[in-house]
Structures are given as structure tokens and as C-alpha cells.
Structure 1
Amino acid sequence: MRCFLAIDLDENIKDKIFSLYSNLDIKGAKLVEKENLHITLRFFGDSNEIEIIKKLKRIKMNAFEIEIHDIGAFPNERFIRVLWVGVHSKEIYELIEKINNIFGKERFEPHITIARIKTSSHLLSEFIKKNKNVEIGKMVVRKIVLKKSTLTPTGPIYENIEEFELNDNR
């Protein structure tokens, strides 16, 4: 099963992010549907979800707050393949370290993908410049979610497999 570990976003955060890019009309840009907005923590690909669930149950961490702001691109702003909104918090890096300790080290930059790009455009660069320092908001992360990803011609379909609650000390 093709799966990944994610943080689901609050609806008000999804609304703010989606309103930012929903009118972006650029040839070669595949916009992420609002209901699919999330923060990917780890992509497992085709994996045994039972083993993954067993390992994820070992993660112990308190709920934490994240700040969502800034627009950027991977691999860089001159050669754009992914358009993203930034996620900021020292605790998210602590969570990633715990995940890496269990599943092996993997480079990670917290972000929310808003579009995948086939051909770069000066309009994308303008969009990034205009929104580079955009402030979306804050939210508390209370759980992480293992999701199944089914690829279809119209885009991926995500389904929750298992939720892992963080200690709610807030």
C-alpha cells in the first residue's frame, strides 16, 4: 500500500491557503485540491502499513503549535517544480528526528505543497515574490496521521489509515 505520514490542517488554515492560490491559472501547474492540503512528515511509498503502525506507536511527544507562513519553491525559485507554503516550529523538527530514529534519516523541510509544476513560468516567480512573506496563521498539532495514497488520472485520493494522538499538555 502506498502511504505517508502527515499532519492534517485545521479547516480555517486550509481555507486561507486555498484562497491564496485557487485563482492561480498557469499552464503546467497542477494545483492541490483544498481537501488534500496537509503537511507530509514522511513518505513510505509501497510499504507494509502494519509494520509502520507498530513502529509509529513508539513515538511519544506533546502536542505543539506551528506557524504557517511564507511561499517558496523546490528545488529553487528559478527552477520551480513544487510550490509550497512554509511550516515553522522547533517541535516539528523534534518530531521528524523521532521519525528518522525509527525509520532512518531522511532530509526534510516542513511545508505544505500547493502546486506541482511541469513547466516553470515567470508568472510563478511573480506569484512567489508577491506572496513570499504571507502570514497564514497558527495551529496546534494534536495528532499525526498515516494516510493511504491512491493515484488516479484526476489526482491522488487520500484515506486515513491510523491516527496517533500526541500528549495534550496544552
Structure 2
Amino acid sequence: MRTFLAISVPDEVRMLAQETKEKIAAARVNIKWVEYENYHLTVKFLGDVTDEKVQQIRKLMQTVGDNCPAFQLRINGLGFFPNRFRPRIIWLGMGGELDKAQFLGNRVDNYLYELGFEPEKQHRFHLTLGRIRCDIDTAKTLERAAASKMNPISFTVDEFYLMESILRPEGPVYKRIDSFKLNG
């Protein structure tokens, strides 16, 4: 089963993401957009894991949640991977208590290392809006979009989720396997 760990975002953030997406899409840019119901912040992509390993992950992530505090994040503007000159991914960046978000990411890495998962080089919490099929006009449109002001919506992160990603021709479907409260 294809899995990842994620932070859900509130409807207010989903609506801002959707509005941003619609403004950019109006310029007829070539982007494969993430669907509204699939918006999330990835903590760690795990890939294909067995049912047995899923059970081990669930136990370990319960311990992580018990030892990590809740924290505040806020939307911090539009960004691109790898960079704005050759964008491939368009995303909403995060600000706020990033030290606590990093603490969660590092704890996840530390606990999952014993199951054979490699740690992330750096946790860059973001909400992916779409995957760009870039041309010059798309890059110019995205540059203008990045310069526009955005409401700094804040939200509390008090749990994270183990998710299954089911790949379908029309796009991925995400299914929640388990949730882990941040009680630390």
C-alpha cells in the first residue's frame, strides 16, 4: 500500500488555495492541479509498505504524537520548486512555529529510521497546488501571481495522519488510515 504522513489543513486554507489556483488557471497556464479534497502538508512520504509495516508505523507514530506539542502555522505566500526560474511545482509556503513543525518532522524521521526509512534532508512544509508543465508564458504568469498579496491565514496543527494514496487514471485518491494527536 502506498502511504505518507500528512497534516490536514482547515477549510479556510483550502478555500484560499482554491482561489489562488483559480486566479492562476484563468490565465490558461499548463498546470496539473491538485484537487481541493487532496490539499495537505506532507510530513513524510513512505512509499509502498506492507500491512505489517503499517501496523509498526501506527505504533511508532502514536509515540511521536505523545511527545510532540501542537503548533501554529500560517500561509506565507506562493513559491516554486526547484525555483521561480524553472518552476515544476507551485505551492503555498508556511510560516509560524516552524521550529515545532521541524521537531515533529525530525521525530518522525528518528522513529521511522529503525524501520529502514531514510531521514529527510530538510523538512519544507508546504501545500502543493499543482505540477507545472512549464513554458515562458506560464513562468511569467506564475511570477506575477507570486508577487500578489495573500491573506496570512493561521491554523493550529494538533494532529497528523497516516494516509494511503490510491493512484487512479483521473488522479490520486487519499484515504486516512489513522490519526495521531500531538499531546507533547
> How does the TM-score come out when normalised to structure 1?
0.90
Work out the CA distance in 2 between the residues paired with 1:113 and 1:58.
28
Q: 1:105 aligns with which of 114, 119, 135?
A: 119
Work out the CA distance in 2 between the residues paired with 1:121 and 1:95.
38
Structure 1: stretches of 5+ with no match in the other structure: none
Give, in angstroms, the shift of residue 23 of structure 1: 4.1
Correspondence for 2:115: none
2:19 maps to 1:13: no
Correspondence for 2:74: 67
Correspondence for 1:96: 105
Identity fraction in percent = 28
Gap change, CA 1:36 and 1:128, over 3 Å in 2: farther
> How does the TM-score come out when normalised to structure 2?
0.84
The answer to which structure has the higher strand fraction is 1
2:25 maps to 1:22: no
Correspondence for 2:91: 84
Which residue identity does 1:56 align to in structure 2?
M
Structure 2: stretches of 5+ with no match in the other structure: 113-117
Structure 2 SS opposite 1:76 = coil
Structure 1 SS opposite 2:80 = strand
Which residue identity does 2:75 align to in structure 1?
I
Which residue identity does 2:2 align to in structure 1?
R
Q: 1:55 aligns with which of 55, 60, 66?
A: 60
2:134 maps to 1:119: yes
Correspondence for 2:167: 151
Aligned residues: 168
Work out which of the two has the higher radius of gyration on C-alpha atoms and give 1 or 2: 2
1:79/1:120 contact within 8 Å kept: no
Which residue identity does 1:139 align to in structure 2?
F
2:85/2:139 contact within 8 Å kept: no
CA RMSD of aligned residues (A): 1.8
Gap change, CA 1:52 and 1:136, over 3 Å in 2: same
Work out the CA distance in 2 between the residues paired with 1:139 and 1:62.
14
